[in-house]
Structure 1
Amino acid sequence: MDFPTIHTNFWDAVVAVPLVMLITQLIKLLLKVPKKYVPTIAVALGLGISVFISHRHNLIAGVFMGWFYGSAAIGSYSSLKTSIKAFRNEKDN
């Protein structure tokens, strides 16, 4: 079995991941979702965007990249939050 060729492009890095972050935050604010479910929501959104929009002609690529979108959004949010906390803490000292 051959693995599919998956091309990462401008859409993946600059649009899809921030879009997953934004929609996840909107869902979190509007629906008052418990924190423990937020990563699952991000991965589900990433899978949905990837499978139905960006890689709709290749299911395996869609699932792989959707998992990437959700995981990248989770990591980016976590990194940004940690950096802001560290900056604020350093500024106070």
Structure 2
Amino acid sequence: MDFPTIHTNFWDAIIAVPVIMVLTQLIKIFFKVPKSYVPTVALAIGLLLSVFVSHRGHLVAGLFMGWFYGYAAVGAYASLKTMILSYLKKVRRE
């Protein structure tokens, strides 16, 4: 079995993850998705975006990278939220 060559490029690093973050937030706002389902929504968007846009024609590569896109978006969002809340807590103490 041949495994596809997977290259990380500009799309992966700069565009895909923020696009997934924005789409997930829009879906969360407009469709009132419960917080416990938000990571699943991000994963689904990551898989769809990867399979049908960035790795079209390579299902294994699309699924592999889509998993990373989705969970990178979840991690980036959690990190950003923690950083902002920490900063606001610090500012309020001063």
TM-score (norm 2): 0.95
Percent identity over the alignment is: 63
Q: Which amino acid aligns with 2:52?
A: F
Q: Which amino acid aligns with 2:34?
A: P
Report the equivalent of 2:41. Answer: 41
- Whole-angstrom distance in 1 between the partners of 2:23 and 2:29: 10
- Whole-angstrom distance in 2 between the partners of 1:56 and 1:62: 7
Give, in angstroms, the shift of residue 92 of structure 1.
Answer: 1.1
- Whole-angstrom distance in 2 between the partners of 1:11 and 1:3: 21
- The unaligned stretches of length 5 or more in structure 1 are none
Report the equivalent of 2:67. Answer: 67
Give, in angstroms, the shift of residue 2 of structure 1.
Answer: 4.1
- Whole-angstrom distance in 1 between the partners of 2:53 and 2:2: 24
Give, in angstroms, the shift of residue 21 of structure 1.
Answer: 0.3
- Whole-angstrom distance in 2 between the partners of 1:20 and 1:61: 18
Aligned pairs for 1:1-93 (under 5 A) are: 1-93=1-93
Runs of 4+ in 1 over 6 A off after TM superposition: none
- Whole-angstrom distance in 2 between the partners of 1:44 and 1:30: 17
Question: RMSD over aligned Cα, in angstroms?
Answer: 0.8
Equivalent residue pairs, number:
93
- Whole-angstrom distance in 1 between the partners of 2:76 and 2:52: 23
